[in-house]
Amino acid sequence: MLVFSKVYVAGFAALVLAGCSGLELDRARAVSPQGSAFQTELYGGYIGLASSEYAEGDYTDSDFFALRAITAAGANAPPPQELAERRLPEDTAPELGQARGLLVDVLARGAAERFPARAADAQVKFDCWMQEQEENFQPDDIAACRGQFLVALSALNAGLTPLAPMAEAAPAPAPAPQPVKLVVFFDFDKADLNAAARVKLDEAVAAIKGRRAVTILVNGHADRAGASGYNAKLSRLRAIAIADALARAGVPPEATTVSAFGELQPMVATEDDVREPSNRRVEIVIQ
């Protein structure tokens, strides 16, 4: 009879305690969050955990998460749960400890202010992982909470990583100067420079001096009046006259290439033995 009385009393006490559990969820649902966006998100996450545990008949954990929801709705957000608050399997503590440290770090770096929903989700999923790991009999639930926490943590780290400063764009290289072509005309059967030729020569010198490195092509030509062999020599004399004048003006001779084309490349096509002023010329090409 004494034994029966002890068992009866113990059972009755358990029933009384069970009846008192699970009451915090209704109280938490009646609270209106007053804090930051992070606290509001945290409140909603803990209400979700409390409701889930209540539906499973785990009134103790339901009350635990409901109380955290109430705290989140108040003046201050609760921190991620301490490992010491749970009876964790010994082999799981190192990973959970590292995970909590990483979570605390991102929160300290402003995750709650910049990404309140994601930060709250990370904390709620961490506390969920802790709770499921303490029970340690639902591996799918443990894996789900852990995985969701890691996804949220990764997203927070990515969002908080400062962008590398954009390198100042290198100034666009100056466009390569376009070749300049100047034409110096000569009198009939002459290779000396007339007044008009000297004006063109001055233009050529100015264009050359405005460039850092130049290659100058001096191409002599003749019209078709006279023998082709003579005209070849005459076109060379004209080209040399220009090259010498450039050298006297300070243009390095090594930058100049002299070529003679005789009557082979007329500017104006004519019949043989026809005098044509446009064909009696030297072309100065500045590259």
Q: Mean pLDDT of all residues in the chain?
A: 86
Decide: 218 and 242 in contact? Cβ < 8 Å.
Answer: yes
Report, as ranges of residue numbers, the positions in the chain whose pLDDT lies below 50.
1-19
Give the whole-angstrom CA distance, residue 233 versus residue 226: 12
Helix axes 116-135, 93-108, angle to 10 degrees: 160
260 closest CA partner among 227, 285, 238: 238
Contacts for 166-169 with beta carbons within 8 Å, 24 or more apart?
Answer: none
243 closest CA partner among 262, 259, 267, 223: 259
The pLDDT, as a whole number, for residue 2 is 29
> Which DSSP symbol is given to 146?
H
The pLDDT, as a whole number, for residue 1 is 30
- From residue 257, give the alpha-carbon distance in Å to each of 115, 144, 220, 281: 70, 80, 11, 16
Kindly tell me the sign of the dihedral angle through the C-alpha atoms of 56, 45, 150, 108: negative
Residue span(s) of the chain under CATH 3.30.1330.60 come to 180-286
Q: Given 3-state DSSP classes, what are the helix, strand and coil percentages for the chain, each rounded to the nearest 5?
A: 60, 10, 35
- From residue 133, give the alpha-carbon distance in Å to each of 14, 126, 138, 283: 25, 10, 8, 90
> Which DSSP symbol is given to 92?
G
Give the whole-angstrom CA distance, residue 93 versus residue 101: 12
- From residue 206, give the alpha-carbon distance in Å to each of 182, 201, 211, 214, 285: 12, 9, 9, 12, 13
Whether pTM exceeds 0.85:
no
198 closest CA partner among 255, 154, 236, 245: 245
Instruction: Tell me whether strands 216-220 and 256-260 are parallel, antiparallel or unpaired.
Output: parallel
Hey, what are 48's tokens? 């979700």
SS3 96: helix
CATH T-level topology, domain 180-286: 60s Ribosomal Protein L30; Chain: A; (3.30.1330)
Strand order in the sheet with 256-260: 180-185, 281-286, 216-220, 256-260
